[in-house]
Amino acid sequence: MAGQRISVLRLEGVSQEHFMQHLYPQRKPLVLEGIDLGACTSKWTVDYLSQVGGKKEVKIHVAAVAQMDFISKNFVYRTLPFDKLVQRAAEEKHKEFFMSENEKYYLRSLGEDPRKDVADIRKQFPLLEGDIKFPKFFKEEQFFSSVFRISSPGLQLWTHYDVMDNFLIQVTGKKRVVLFSPRDAQYLYLSGTKSEVLNIDNPDLAKYPLFSKARRYECSLKAGDVLFIPALWFHNVISEEFGVGVNVFWKHLPSECYDKTDTYGNKDPTAASRAAQILDRAIKTLAELPEEYQDFYARRMVLHIQDKAYSKNFE
């Protein structure tokens, strides 16, 4: 098991002013209840979505197991008409399938051209636009994307972070979300933006001993709940039921800080990418020295980074 367990704060009836002045500056996850999301929480049934979404082709993840792993890619990409996806994702067992009758489905909506266009449910699924209201807690010019997500019951997404703030709107179904602070990154065995620890409830501590030190923030989301996930917070999402959700991402840093080629909201800010490249060059330079010297000067570099760049303003 991970170490300390902390329940994510839940608040009802939070205004935009109270959120921005008192809650947002804390940079911690928060579940908001009672937000006006429109008719989607009652209208978006399997039949309604199948009818309104129609035969539009969508690219989906298909996995033979419940725990999806983006590092090892234990899933395949397939294409289905939207109505077929909704119907299959709502099933426990499938009469029609790609790999097995127990396979899991996951839709993460994409832009028209995923290399150039961001996902926006209002553009990709315009007939659904009138059903959903986004929380107006940020300025319209900050808007980055709205990602439509559909998950089979039992599906678990890998632990990862995003570089923008976002609201996870749980429209239908239930999810369990486990989050980890950016301050605990050193305990999560990262490969890029993703953690190698798949089974967060029963981790292999012989392989991942530091994982036991990670503080675990937990919450359950029901239809109508909105989870605020601050940028850089790691999150692992388990769909306890067939569920439909929408992530709304927005730019909380100046636009020039972000990679202009990023359509998913998961590329590190350009300054961070440049710093990582400089560090790689420094490490290669150290390789010109004998191992004893490499080790000594690498440790000095780490101490220097801690002294100059680690923040003392967060817990």
Q: Residue 115: what pLDDT?
A: 87
Instruction: Look up the pTM and report it.
Output: 0.93
Order of strands across the sheet that contains 234-239: 5-7, 216-221, 175-180, 234-239
CA 199 to chain centre: 17
Query: Quick one: tokens of 51?
Result: 């009818």
Which pLDDT band holds residue 2 (cuts at 50, 70, 90)? very low
CATH architecture for segment(s) 5-257 = Sandwich (2.60)
Q: State yes or no: pLDDT of 1 exceeds 70.
A: no
Q: Residue 314: what pLDDT?
A: 64
Which tens digit of pLDDT belongs to each residue from 62-117? 999 999 998 888 999 999 999 999 999 999 899 999 999 999 999 999 998 888 99
CA dist., res. 63 & res. 103, Å (int)? 6
The three-state DSSP-derived secondary structure of 250-278 is ECCCCHHHCCCCCCCCCCCCHHHHHHHHH
Q: Residue 251: what pLDDT?
A: 96
Q: Residue 311: what pLDDT?
A: 87
Query: Quick one: tokens of 193?
Result: 């933006």
Which tens digit of pLDDT belongs to each residue from 54-75? 899 999 999 999 999 988 889 9
Give domain limits for the chain. Answer: 5-257, 270-309
Measuring CA to CA, which residue among 222, 255, 224, 221 is closest to residue 236? Answer: 221
Q: Residue 315: what pLDDT?
A: 60
Which pLDDT band holds residue 8 (cuts at 50, 70, 90)? very high
Which tens digit of pLDDT belongs to each residue from 201-253? 999 999 999 999 999 999 999 999 999 999 999 999 999 999 999 999 999 99
Q: State yes or no: pLDDT of 301 exceeds 80.
A: yes
Phi-psi sector, 57: left (phi>0), alpha (psi -120 to 50), beta: beta
% the chain with pLDDT above 90? 90
